[in-house]
Amino acid sequence: MLIRFENVTKRFGSFIAVDDVSLDIEAGEFFSLLGPSGCGKTTLLRMLAGLETPTEGRILIDGVDMVGVPPNRRPVNMVFQSYAVFPHMNVAQNVAYGLKIDRVPKAEREARVADALALVKLSEFAHRRPDQLSGGQRQRVALARALVKRPKVLLLDEPLSALDAKLRDAMRGELAQIQRDVGVTFVMVTHDQDEALAMASRCALMNRGTLQQVATPGDLYEYPANRFVADFIGTINLFEGTLSVDAPDHAAVTTPALDAPIHVDHGVTGATDAKVWVGVRPEKIAMTPASGPRPTGPAAMPQANVTHGTIMTSAYLGAVTFYDVATAGGTMIKVSAPNGTRSASPALPAGTAVWLHWAPDAPIVLLG
Amino acid sequence: MASARGISGGSRSAFWAVFLTPALWMMLFFVVPLSVIWAYSFGRTLGLTEVVVTGTLANYVRVFDPVYLMIFAKSLVFAGVTTAICLIIGFPYALVMTFASARAKILLLLAIMLPFWTNLLVRTYALMAVMRTEGWINDGFGLVGLGPFEMLHTNFAVITGLVYVHLPFIVLPLFSTLDRLDRSLIEASLDLGAGHLRTIFQVVIPIVWPGILSAVLLCFIPALGSYLTPDLLGGPDSQMIASVIERQFKRANDWPFGAALSFMLMYLTLAAMAWRALAERRAAGKEAH
């Protein structure tokens, strides 16, 4: 592996920013550190850059212990959140700055600067001053300035947060493309889960200084390790209940929130009668009119995974419609329905009585 | 439309009410007296207390007498050397202050501000006590068998005193400039491989250059007009122009010549400010290309 955090802890006074984090990142990955603000992700990135020193633990890059190595001697470069483009240098001078320090000969330097500017599509802007550039262009300068040094790792601190929504979407694809083109390992900090899911090959979700889960975007969404992950990534219905059946290949949870038990097609490594949480994503819940027959649950437990409810509110978003459905017991369930066919009235009106049901592979049992 | 009428009505009288007080104050206590002195500079004394404004340029011709030109030149050199030393001491000091912890920042600020809050006369006499031939410094040298050195009433004493007095004038504006500098610019420079010295000379100084010029001017102008420090610490050959001006108004009782000397000093100050404005415009012009 290229980067290894070994039991890294960082304290600022009595505040623990990063709490005993161990993490490996492989070469060539587009790795994302994700989490709410104050979760320690930026501190972790800054420790990798050498801008902060771990209180405890070791950080290795390519097998070399980085503790005590100053930022200017590390094989990493960073794209700062504010871009930090030098205002007194033009675009080409900004990009050449790091190469001049490395005493790269002039001819090679100019060629590399030209290549880097071409990579970020800024060739015509080489002689512009930073104050004559847009935010997106300044970010490209910061990217070129870091990549031209050919670092082993490129660090990105909230790279898209200062851009407007349209540009952010465009840059998402472009950053991922640049990463594939240059093959450099990217480590990106973001609080925006869409950004992390869309770009990263793997994500580490953090909360209060600790790692919650390290997984691919798909696993993070479909197989969250705990309640925090399930709740942070996307939208989910969480029901607190008791494990009533715990077989190797299936399990059932009874919950006071619903009349019927929840049946899942995976075993749970917990004792029967344990308190657990069950999560069901809104798009995995099917909705049928209450006038129709009661849907049947899984063969092993036909009464499970079905509930009756009334639509309270709906939000039509074009591609999908979100519903808040209340059960007779007062539990609110979020349901999303794709608008697969064109319709004059795509959202069901509030007050409509419906059946909600889901497949046994839809719920996930969460122990923590 | 309604709001436009509002400005031309109530807001306008409010504007005049706020504006007139300081405007009148400035007229009465700054513009009028200064104009009187300016008029005096084109006149001559008549008897003991009277001055007649004759429109003569004789006072200005006298200013260009080599004796006075030398004193002007010496004042410029003293102020220049003082400013240079203040900058050499003050820039690193302000830099350290910028990056110090909140607690250390307050202590460093106090260290600069405490003398500033103490009466100048007290500070100057204290400095005399330290630098006297029988003072503490020479006592210290005496312990190791050196000296005593004649320090008081020399140009060295004047420069030392001027640096001591004017250090806050350069440290405070430099600190406020450096404190506003985006830290990530410094971090980016380190991240790109630069050492600390290179970062200071190639990133920090070029970016805060306008702030440095302002600080230099804020130090240079009062240093140029220093009166008490050279008078008390200096010897016979370390007079600065303010002492000469004072002598014209008091002992020589030659108000017209004193006025002409004062206005020469003011023109020099204005020239320094014009240089600052030009330097800023040139920097802005360079940025546009």
Nearest to A95, CA basis, from A133, A132, A148: A148
Tell which wins on pLDDT, B145 or B208.
B208
User: What's the pLDDT at A274?
Assistant: 84
- Confidence bin at A363 (pLDDT 50/70/90): very high
Nearest chain B Cα distance for residue A325, angstroms: 48
**Are A186 and A297 members of one domain?**
no
Residue A329 lies in a domain: yes
Residue A335 lies in a domain: yes
The closest CB to that of B185, out of A71, A84, A145, belongs to A84
**Are A122 and A251 members of one domain?**
no
Distances (CA, A) of A340 to A206, A318, A347: 36, 10, 12
Contacts of A84 in chain B (CB under 8 A): 182, 184-185, 187-188
CATH code at position A352: 2.40.50.140
**Chosen domain end from A201, A228, A255:** A228
**Are A32 and A138 members of one domain?**
yes
Residue B153 lies in a domain: yes
CATH code at position A9: 3.40.50.300
Residue A233 lies in a domain: no
User: What's the pLDDT at A268?
Assistant: 82
Q: Write out the two tokens for A74.
A: 């590390």
Residue B50 lies in a domain: no
| pLDDT over 50 at B203, yes or no | yes
**Are A21 and A155 members of one domain?**
yes
Q: Do A78 and B195 touch (CB under 8 A)?
A: no
**Are A199 and A252 members of one domain?**
no
For A169-208, the pLDDT digits (tens) are: 888 888 999 999 899 999 999 999 999 999 999 999 999 9
Q: Do B188 and A80 touch (CB under 8 A)?
A: yes
**Are A223 and A340 members of one domain?**
no
Using DSSP's 3-state secondary structure scheme, residue B182 falls into: coil
Q: Stretch B60-71: mean pLDDT, rounded?
A: 92
User: What's the pLDDT at B286?
Assistant: 60
Q: Stretch B39-59: mean pLDDT, rounded?
A: 87
User: What's the pLDDT at B4?
Assistant: 46
Domain residues for the domain of A11 are: 3-228
Q: What's the DSSP call for residue B225? A: T
Q: Is the peptide bond before B148 cis (omega within 30 degrees of 0)?
A: yes
**Chosen domain end from A196, A228, A260:** A228
Other beta carbons within 10 Å of A14: 5
Nearest to A145, CA basis, from B59, B220, B90, B193: B193
Chain B interface disruption, residue of A12, A69, A72, A132, most B CBs within 10 A = A72
Q: Do A82 and B182 touch (CB under 8 A)?
A: yes
Residue B165 lies in a domain: yes
For B12-33, the pLDDT digits (tens) are: 888 888 889 889 999 999 999 9
% of chain A exceeding 90 in pLDDT: 74
Q: Stretch B273-279: mean pLDDT, rounded?
A: 87
How many domains is chain B built from?
1
Compute the distance between CA of residue A319 and CA of residue A321 in angstroms, rounded to an integer: 7
Q: Is A242 left (phi over 0), alpha (psi -120 to 50) or beta?
A: beta
**Are A114 and A134 members of one domain?**
yes
Q: Do B187 and A102 touch (CB under 8 A)?
A: no
User: What's the pLDDT at B2?
Assistant: 44
Residue A346 lies in a domain: yes
Q: Do B192 and A82 touch (CB under 8 A)?
A: no
Contacts of A73 in chain B (CB under 8 A): 193
Residue A45 lies in a domain: yes
User: What's the pLDDT at A184?
Assistant: 94
Other beta carbons within 10 Å of B256: 24
Query: Of A37-51, A171-185, B48-62, which one has max mean pLDDT?
Result: A37-51
Q: Write out the two tokens for A353.
A: 């009585």
**Are A222 and A289 members of one domain?**
no
For A202-236, the pLDDT digits (tens) are: 999 999 999 999 999 999 999 999 999 999 999 99
% of chain B exceeding 70 in pLDDT: 95
How many domains is chain A built from?
2
Q: Of all helices (H) and strands (E), which one includes residue B161?
A: helix B155-180
User: What's the pLDDT at B91?
Assistant: 96
Domain residues for the domain of B270 are: 63-288
**Are A188 and A332 members of one domain?**
no
Measure the CA angle with vertex A133, ends A131 and A139; round to 5°.
Answer: 110
**Least confident range of A12-26, A148-162, A166-180, A324-338:** A166-180
Nearest chain A Cα distance for residue B205, angstroms: 10
- Confidence bin at A67 (pLDDT 50/70/90): confident
Interface of A with B (CB under 8 A): 49-51, 70-73, 76-78, 80-82, 84, 86-88, 97-98, 101-102, 129, 131, 142, 145-146, 149
Residues 170-189 of B with CB under 8 A from A: 182, 184-185, 187-189
| pLDDT over 80 at B9, yes or no | no
Beta strands at A286-289 and A332-338: parallel, antiparallel or unpaired: unpaired
Residue A187 lies in a domain: yes
**Are A186 and A248 members of one domain?**
no
Using DSSP's 3-state secondary structure scheme, residue A206 falls into: strand
Q: Which residue has the tokens 């006592």?
A: B139
User: What's the pLDDT at B287?
Assistant: 52
Residue A302 lies in a domain: yes
Q: Write out the two tokens for A107.
A: 């001819």
- Using an 8 Å Cβ cutoff, are A25 and A38 in contact? no
**Are A270 and A138 members of one domain?**
no
Nearest to B254, CA basis, from B72, B67, B75, B58: B58
- Confidence bin at B184 (pLDDT 50/70/90): very high
- Using an 8 Å Cβ cutoff, are B287 and B206 in contact? no
Compute the distance between CA of residue A108 and CA of residue A226 in angstroms, rounded to an integer: 51
| pLDDT over 70 at B285, yes or no | no
Compute the distance between CA of residue A190 and CA of residue A204 in angstroms, rounded to an integer: 11
**Chosen domain end from A197, A228, A259:** A228
Q: Do A78 and B191 touch (CB under 8 A)?
A: yes
Residue B217 lies in a domain: yes
Residue B21 lies in a domain: no
| pLDDT over 50 at A139, yes or no | yes
Q: Write out the two tokens for A192.
A: 């925006």
Numbers of helices and strands, H then E, in chain B: 15, 2
CATH code at position B246: 1.10.3720.10
**Are A275 and A224 members of one domain?**
no
Chain B interface disruption, residue of A46, A53, A88, most B CBs within 10 A = A88
Which residue of B lies nearest to A142 if distances are taken between CA atoms?
Answer: B188
Q: Stretch B249-276: mean pLDDT, rounded?
A: 90
| pLDDT over 90 at A345, yes or no | no
The residue ranges of DSSP E strands in chain A, in sequence order, are 3-12, 15-25, 30-34, 56-61, 64-65, 76-79, 153-157, 185-190, 202-207, 210-215, 237-246, 251-254, 262-264, 275-280, 286-289, 306-316, 320-327, 332-338, 353-357, 364-366
